[in-house]
Structure 1
Amino acid sequence: MTTLSYSPWQTGGLPLLNVAATCAATHALGPGLRAVVWVQGCPFNCPGCVAPAWLPMRQARVAAPEELVAELLAHLQVTGLTFSGGEPMLQAVGLARLITLARQQRPLSLICFSGFTLDQLRRKPPGPGAAALLDQTDVLIDGRYVANQNDQRGLRGSLNQQIHYLTDRLIGFDFATGPRQIEVQVGANEVLLVGVPPRGAVTLVEQALKRV
């Protein structure tokens, strides 16, 4: 039996990712058509988190970056990736490997969400690979979610979170005040709510699904 270790997950020295969910195509998490990886596990437990099932540090789907690249780039019109979770910076080694491999196939943009601030990531990163992932990131949306600062606009969950343009690739996109979009994507074994939902949206979707 293979032994897995967290941050990063690895076997035989090769980085793996502990994945909560993926989405091969969405317009709800950044400009253009994007593919998304949500990782499993987060240390923050922010009140009002929209994905509480993805907080525990438990094994979900363990996959190699090489496997995920083929899945995420299956749609030929995908122009960018978005990393969220969970906490991506706990699995920075695997995610940095993933975006490196993906960019060998096409010139993708990268948006990354993190509960850690940019200053924390630079001064005292939570694990290996954070600097490498930041080097690959075009836009970092950082900081913990604070429910009473949710202004219902843009891709940041709450006003305390900062939007850092680490490159000029996505400089023309309004991450702070643009209208939010959400998509409900129904798969064979799961229903994904994709996007940064307005207050109350998660409850409404859950209630609607119970009536189906």
Structure 2
Amino acid sequence: MTGPALNVAATRVGTHALGPGRRSVVWVQGCPFRCPGCLAPEWIPDRAARHAHPAELADELLADPGVTGLTLSGGEPMTQAGGLAALVRAARGRRDLSVICFTGYRLERLRARPPAPGVTELLGLLDVLIDGRYVAGLDDGKGLRGSSNQRVHHLTPRLAGCGYDFTGGPRTAEITVDGTTALLVGVPPPGLLTAFDSAVRETRSRLLPPGTPDATPGAPGRAPLPTRPREDN
């Protein structure tokens, strides 16, 4: 199964922080939006990151046999819709999976004026779409969407009755450390980002030579301690 190669910012295999069940996540590099308060500014530039083919990425994301779903985020997934559609098809060829996707575009815009090739195909493969740009002043600390203006669309009934509260449920997040890289997975509960940044600064001061520039604060991302991934666009 082929498709356009993906420009990938980061991946996480096996998490409970971004939707119901055990999921694998792919964050793509590049976003046309610059939402004030964006927590992943390092993933906004349309620059080369990790080059990955859909079939190979599907194998990576499904390396955990307990994974029951995929979550697509970024960056802006719809700018790489063709590659992500190929990824979803490849993954579902191996296992029955639910798929959740974040986007800064409104669903109506995606259907009327797709911003990139493959958008219509990708929409047809999604179970849940969370749409709209992140608005820091509307971040109510609830649910899987980053701010209350963002909408949760059940494009299929698959996850509608699963008991997971996408809009009002408590938020969870996970922090992983790989060498000198920290990755925060999930939509952070209130206060977590402040604590995360404080811990990162303290760790950097102990691990890195004096005078090392601070890494760009951000959200869904990887950086030389920090990185704070946030699932909103």
TM-score (norm 1): 0.91
Measure the CA separation in 2 of the matches of 1:82 and 1:189: 25
- The residue number in structure 1 matching 2:65 is 76
Note the 1:56-205 alignment, pairs <5 A: 56-172=45-161, 173-188=164-179, 190-205=181-196
Note the 1:46-65 alignment, pairs <5 A: 46-65=35-54
SS in 2 for 1:136: coil
2:148 counterpart letter in structure 1: L
Gaps of 5+ in 1: 1-12
- The residue number in structure 2 matching 1:21 is 10
Q: Which protein, 1 or 2, shows the higher relative CO under an 8 Å CA cutoff with sep ≥ 6?
A: 2
1:191 is displaced (CA, Å) by 1.2
1:17 is displaced (CA, Å) by 0.3
Contact residue 112 and residue 137 of structure 1 kept, 8 A: yes
- The residue number in structure 2 matching 1:207 is 198
Measure the CA separation in 1 of the matches of 2:93 and 2:180: 31
Partner residue of 2:28 out of 39, 50, 65 = 39
Measure the CA separation in 1 of the matches of 2:59 and 2:140: 36
TM-score (norm 2): 0.83
Q: How many residues align?
A: 200
RMSD over equivalenced CA pairs, Å? 1.2
1:203 is displaced (CA, Å) by 3.4
Contact residue 50 and residue 202 of structure 1 kept, 8 A: no
Higher strand share: 1
Gaps of 5+ in 2: 204-233
1:210 is displaced (CA, Å) by 2.2
